[in-house]
Structure 1
Amino acid sequence: MKQEAIGQICAFDDTAEQKHADARLREAEAALQATTEWAQVTLNSIGDAVVTTDLECRVTYLNRVAETLTGWSSADALGKPLAQVLTLIHGQTFQPATNPAQRAMEENRTVGLAMDCVLIRQDGSQLQIEDSAAPIHDREGCLKGAVIVFHDACHSPTHATKLAYQAQHDALTELPNRILLSERLSQAIGLAKRHTHQVALLYLDLDNFKTINDSLGHAVGDFLLQSVAGRLSESVRDTDTVCRQGGDEFVVLLSEVEKPQDAVRIAKKILSTLAEPYQICSNELHVTISIGVSLYPDHGTDEHTLLHNADTAMYHAKKSGRNNYQLFSAEMNDLRVQNSHLESQLQMALKADDLFLNFQPRINIATGDVVSAEALVRWQNPTHGLMQPSAFLPVAEARGLMVPIGYWVLGETCRRLQAWRREGGDIVPIAVNMSAMQLRDKTLPARVAEILSKTGLDPHFLEMEVSESSLMHLYTNASISTLLELNHMGIRIAIDDFGAGNLCPKHLQCFPIDTVNIAPCFTHGMLDNREDALLVKSLINFGQNLSLRVSAKGVETLEQLDHLELQGCDGAQGFLFSKPLSATDFHALLGSDRQCLPVF
């Protein structure tokens, strides 16, 4: 009996314990449900979007903000691949961005979204977002998925700061732009007034940058501008400002200088720093710069005047041979006004066909025969009368008129030659000077072919001359290809001012050269200067070793001619034989015995 009673009591106790366990489970479930609901309320009340995924990167949860920003409802998104619901691309490249959840799980750490990350919403619209993703672990530390938290970047303080920065800085170089320069210049002028010190502006322009940009491509040009920006920043104090004014122009604001020599010292330092070679994309580039300097209060008391006068001084530096600096002076404004007027007249002269050509004969030293000539452009200016090229071509170069003038000279030369040939007389090849601007024109071969076709001239009667210094800047595959194409058409190619540049023999052999013209400065000095004499001798030997015709320009005396003949020079050009002749006189010379004897 006693044993049975105990058994009944045990059975009753087991039933009671089960009831207690069930009650605790219901309480736990209720608490969990309350916690889950509380978590849902909390996540739906925050301002950020929240998306969670499982280990397979499938969506397991979206809060309301995430639904709004993505355009997906939670019901539609659950179980979908994250990349389908949260489609991300780079704002700059428009390429797919790295999946942040996958990266957070793989690296088991919190990761930030890529810069300029753009969300493609369900309706196809775009939204710039920012924030981060993190892995999710259970209580034992096992990885269970990932959570991504993000928000609309356009409404963030970071985005506002970024927009303010972009408004005041150049995107390529990250230097201050014109807007920020204006602010800082205004502040510097205000401080200078109170503390009676000076402010300096240096206006800088890269020489022949367009040649590099067009020949090697904009990517190389951009890298070069970034390198220049870095060197400029290293050349000045932290209190100064380096600004990219636009294109290949920069402005340096020296906020406090005691005397003009301080600005001059910085200008010289910049010239030296920027002259060092640049190694960019396997290219060794050499760049020079022209600098104009203006000072407050000597050259202006407001921003506009100081900038204008620094720009004027820079223009004067270019006209003075480039790779130098010029301090502003009042006379420069007068010169700029004159040049602007000259530019207008030159544009009208081109339209009205008011330019004309003279021709200077070139002789064979051994026979005295005229074997070719150089076409030289002239201008009968309505105000200044007959103008030599040295008087108006620098203005044409600075104002972008060299290319139309060059094509006019080319067309007129071909027309003249063919007209003389139709008249039944003999003609000789005529050399036309080609500027670096023309030679970097990719349409040059096609335009030359069109001129030859219209005039009917045999290409062998046309020679194109390019200076050695220009070839240094044009040493690119594109430039070599252009010259090869011209040469294959039958046009002769010549290097002008040979010896005055630094073109190495290896580079020279890459160009399809027929003739080299020794620079006049060496011809003039070879009888009195031993170094010039040795250089002329080596240039003649060098050219002839490459089977090139060598001609000397600037021959003015019999002694110079005798020396050139002794050294084995092939040809000569200069006042000893003839000054530049009008088209009529040169045609008459060709109709005679074509002997051009020394003029005594």
Structure 2
Amino acid sequence: MQNGSYQKDDVQTFEGITEQKHADIRLRDAEAALQAATEWAQVTLNSIGDAVVTTDLECRVTYMNRVAEALTGWSSIKALGKPLAEVFTLIDGQTLKTATNPALRAMEENRTVGLAMNCVLIRQDGSQLEIEDSAAPIHDRNGCVTGAVIVFHDACQSPTQSAKLAYQAQHDGLTGLANRVLLSERLSRAIGLAKRHNHQVALIYLDLDAFKAINDSLGHAIGDCLLQSVAGRLSECIRDTDTVCRQGGDEFVVLLSEIEKPQDAARIAEKILAALAKPYHIGNHVLNVTTSIGISLYPDHGIDGHTLLNNADTAMYHAKNSGVNHYQMFRADMTALMVQYTHIESQLQLALQGNSLFLDFQPKIDIATGYLCSAEALVRWRNPTLGLMQPSVFLPVAAACGLIIPIGQWVLLETCRQLQAWREEGVEIVPIAVNMSAIELSDKTLPARITQILAETGIEARYLELEVAEISLMHHHVDVAISTLAELSRLGIRIAIDDFGAGSASLKHLKCFPIDTLNIDACFINDMLDNPGNASFTKALINLGQNLALRVIAKGVETQAQHDQLKSQGCNGAQGFLFSRPLSSTEFRALLLPDQHGWGQRHRALAFSPGAKL
């Protein structure tokens, strides 16, 4: 019995040993499998392009793959066990404030969460890296949260960022319009299609008139808002197949990718002029902007993009020189005129430094008494190569190239200097009117500059009058003009609205401006005797001025009959060839002598023929 008992125990012991060996084998296999799985996981995680960081429930780092090491600058050995906030420091790229811990948020909310926008990682060396992606909780087999995993990558390498960078490379940052790069690509494509399908392509090059004055007087923030508004209106004027590009500054280009005839481009240009001419309400300001447009066509005006762009630009400058809110189609002769324009621009720079600019003075007469009451200063330029040039030729060039303000400054200074020189010679002086462009009027420093000129020359403000063309005034930022004119008026300077009747001033505007004088445009005087409508309109303007307690001056008076009609209508003053052509300073000084103030028969000796040009 005992032997049998021993045998039974031996069998049980052997079976136990065998089971233990099998368990050990299973454990070793499981450990090997786990090790293999771990190694496989690490190889896999080190092979992917994203960075991976895991944490425990206390947000301490438990794992980092190689990409995470590279992006954070931490090695796994040094990072393991450290607080996540120390290894994985995040800030908001815009506010620079510490960003929310994504691992903690994922564990608290028990869900996958994305990193905040503009998230920036502070690397171990202090450098910054914009990153993006997500964090998620880690669960055990029972579904309990045991930690978190963060997966992230360099945002600059992401498809989204790549698309964003590609967009930025082809679009203007301020307006969102196409930039020069994208325009060049689309223009080349449009030319290729036009060549194959035998149709035309048009380029519309446009420039905002006097935009610099808006920037200088109201600030770049208002200027930027204006450009954005212009961009929006331009986009509404074209088809989906066309392209609007901001060329730079206040210049835009519209590509009409397919047109049948030149009139199609002209129609769009007219549509743009009308759209951009509507008032802009920006902040507390109401801005009125005019535009100059040049048009070139493929293949008539060029067979490549560079030529078409240059020719549209040339046409735009010709439109600008022809007045506000115009467009011009390119012509071959414009190239030669552009060369002359460039020459005039360079010579004007020298003229301001030398003595080739000078003033003439055209008398203004009190109609009731026949006496000289004032005069208008008219700038002249004796070009060393082109000879005596008319203001209508060189002043538009000056306005386009930014020289109108320094030329205006010279005219103001020279006028006051001449007045003082005459007075020192014992001559009794009269007020002199100086033309003032809307660009000059938009210059915030104008009142201070005029004050300084008056102080330097010793001339009282009452001897200076500023003439501002109605059409220019109405097409620019009215509120700024009102403020500047009010300040000048407080100095004692007289303000005149020039070429009145030819613009679009309303009674509301006239009430707002501190005006002393209305100058009736010569176009209404020329045929007032032959055109009953003009005669009635002139009478209405005179009555308007009188009702507003303003002095009314008729310009362009060339005949005695015109003079008599104006006198019967109650006009206060007149200017024109009937009385005198523009005179040199020496000739005008002679009129200021005590025995020369009455005109009588003597004005006929001074007058040119009615058809002569000023």
TM-score past 0.5 threshold: yes
Alpha-carbon distance, 1:337 to partner: 1.6
Amino acid at match of 1:425: V
Amino acid at match of 2:599: C
Alpha-carbon distance, 1:477 to partner: 4.9
Alpha-carbon distance, 1:357 to partner: 0.6
The aligned residue for residue 366 of structure 1 is 368
Q: In structure 2, the residue corresponding to 1:272 is in which secondary structure?
A: helix
Distance 2:89 2:446 in 1: 53
Contact 1:89 1:97 in 2 (8 A): no
Amino acid at match of 1:189: I
Change (3 A) 1:335 1:50: same
Of stretches 118-127 and 212-221 in structure 1, the one that deviates more from structure 2 is 118-127
Of stretches 421-430 and 542-551 in structure 1, the one that deviates more from structure 2 is 542-551
Alpha-carbon distance, 1:504 to partner: 3.1
Q: Of residues 253, 256, 275 in structure 2, which corresponds to 1:254?
A: 256
Distance 2:160 2:150 in 1: 19
Amino acid at match of 1:78: P
Q: Does 1:78 align with 2:80?
A: no
Alpha-carbon distance, 1:476 to partner: 5.1
**Deviation digits for residues 264-291 of structure 1, max 9, x if unmatched?**
3333333333334434335443333322
Alpha-carbon distance, 1:485 to partner: 3.1
**Deviation digits for residues 278-333 of structure 1, max 9, x if unmatched?**
34335443333322222222212222211111111222222222423222221111
Alpha-carbon distance, 1:98 to partner: 7.0
Q: Does 1:324 align with 2:326?
A: yes
Alpha-carbon distance, 1:402 to partner: 1.2
The aligned residue for residue 247 of structure 2 is 245
Alpha-carbon distance, 1:376 to partner: 0.3
Alpha-carbon distance, 1:588 to partner: 0.8
Q: Of residues 583, 588, 599 in structure 2, which corresponds to 1:596?
A: 599
Change (3 A) 1:539 1:283: same
The aligned residue for residue 17 of structure 1 is none
**Deviation digits for residues 125-166 of structure 1, max 9, x if unmatched?**
332223356789999999999976532112223222222222
**Deviation digits for residues 46-78 of structure 1, max 9, x if unmatched?**
64456789999x888884666764567757962
Contact 1:88 1:120 in 2 (8 A): no
The aligned residue for residue 224 of structure 1 is 226
Change (3 A) 1:138 1:595: farther
Contact 2:91 2:119 in 1 (8 A): no
The aligned residue for residue 275 of structure 1 is 277
Alpha-carbon distance, 1:201 to partner: 1.8
Give the alignment's TM-score, normalised by structure 1. Answer: 0.82
Contact 1:100 1:111 in 2 (8 A): no
The aligned residue for residue 411 of structure 1 is 413
Of stretches 69-78 and 502-511 in structure 1, the one that deviates more from structure 2 is 69-78
Q: In structure 2, the residue corresponding to 1:572 is in which secondary structure?
A: strand
Q: Of residues 562, 565, 571 in structure 1, which corresponds to 2:564?
A: 562
Distance 2:123 2:393 in 1: 64
Alpha-carbon distance, 1:366 to partner: 2.1
Distance 1:141 1:369 in 2: 106
The aligned residue for residue 199 of structure 1 is 201
Q: Does 1:88 align with 2:92?
A: yes
Of stretches 327-336 and 219-228 in structure 1, the one that deviates more from structure 2 is 219-228
Amino acid at match of 1:561: H
Alpha-carbon distance, 1:339 to partner: 2.0
Contact 2:498 2:521 in 1 (8 A): yes
Of stretches 145-154 and 457-466 in structure 1, the one that deviates more from structure 2 is 145-154
Distance 1:141 1:554 in 2: 96
Distance 1:136 1:503 in 2: 74
Distance 1:95 1:572 in 2: 69
Alpha-carbon distance, 1:361 to partner: 1.2
Of stretches 114-123 and 536-545 in structure 1, the one that deviates more from structure 2 is 114-123
Q: Of residues 170, 182, 185 in structure 2, which corresponds to 1:183?
A: 185
Distance 1:516 1:137 in 2: 86
Q: In structure 2, the residue corresponding to 1:416 is in which secondary structure?
A: helix
Distance 2:116 2:284 in 1: 30
Give the number of equivalent residue pairs.
Answer: 567
Distance 2:463 2:545 in 1: 22
Q: Of residues 502, 514, 517 in structure 2, which corresponds to 1:515?
A: 517
Distance 1:143 1:134 in 2: 10
Change (3 A) 1:465 1:272: closer
Identity %: 67
The aligned residue for residue 23 of structure 2 is none
The aligned residue for residue 491 of structure 2 is 489
Change (3 A) 1:538 1:215: farther
The aligned residue for residue 23 of structure 1 is none
Q: In structure 2, the residue corresponding to 1:181 is in which secondary structure?
A: helix
Distance 1:97 1:504 in 2: 58
**Unaligned regions of 5+ residues in structure 2, if any?**
1-26, 605-614
**Unaligned regions of 5+ residues in structure 1, if any?**
1-26
Contact 1:373 1:431 in 2 (8 A): yes
Contact 1:523 1:560 in 2 (8 A): yes
Q: In structure 2, the residue corresponding to 1:550 is in which secondary structure?
A: strand
The aligned residue for residue 176 of structure 2 is 174
Q: Of residues 565, 575, 580 in structure 2, which corresponds to 1:573?
A: 575
Q: In structure 2, the residue corresponding to 1:561 is in which secondary structure?
A: helix
Amino acid at match of 1:271: L
- Which structure 2 residues correspond to residues 121-140 of structure 1 after superposition, within 5 A? 121=123, 123-132=125-134
**Deviation digits for residues 188-240 of structure 1, max 9, x if unmatched?**
22333333333222222223333333333322322232232233333333332
Change (3 A) 1:137 1:367: farther
Contact 2:214 2:442 in 1 (8 A): no
Amino acid at match of 1:510: C
Amino acid at match of 2:512: C
- Which structure 2 residues correspond to residues 96-495 of structure 1 after superposition, within 5 A? 96=97, 99=100, 116-121=118-123, 123-132=125-134, 149-475=151-477, 477-495=479-497
Distance 2:479 2:277 in 1: 24
Contact 2:286 2:477 in 1 (8 A): no
**Deviation digits for residues 80-125 of structure 1, max 9, x if unmatched?**
599x9312122xxx56587485998999986655655444556543
Q: In structure 1, the residue corresponding to 2:512 is in which secondary structure?
A: coil
Of stretches 472-481 and 213-222 in structure 1, the one that deviates more from structure 2 is 472-481
Distance 2:171 2:584 in 1: 55
**Deviation digits for residues 445-496 of structure 1, max 9, x if unmatched?**
2322332232222222122222222322444554434333333333222222
Distance 1:222 1:237 in 2: 25
Contact 2:99 2:119 in 1 (8 A): no
Give the alignment's TM-score, normalised by structure 2. Answer: 0.80
Alpha-carbon distance, 1:406 to partner: 0.9
Q: In structure 2, the residue corresponding to 1:86 is in which secondary structure?
A: strand
Amino acid at match of 2:323: G
The aligned residue for residue 21 of structure 1 is none
Contact 2:92 2:98 in 1 (8 A): yes
Contact 1:77 1:85 in 2 (8 A): no
Change (3 A) 1:268 1:464: closer
Alpha-carbon distance, 1:185 to partner: 2.0
Q: In structure 1, the residue corresponding to 2:93 is in which secondary structure?
A: strand
Alpha-carbon distance, 1:417 to partner: 0.6
Distance 1:522 1:88 in 2: 67
Q: In structure 2, the residue corresponding to 1:509 is in which secondary structure?
A: helix
Of stretches 576-585 and 520-529 in structure 1, the one that deviates more from structure 2 is 520-529
Amino acid at match of 1:355: L
| Rg larger in structure | 2
Distance 1:503 1:62 in 2: 76
Change (3 A) 1:80 1:324: same
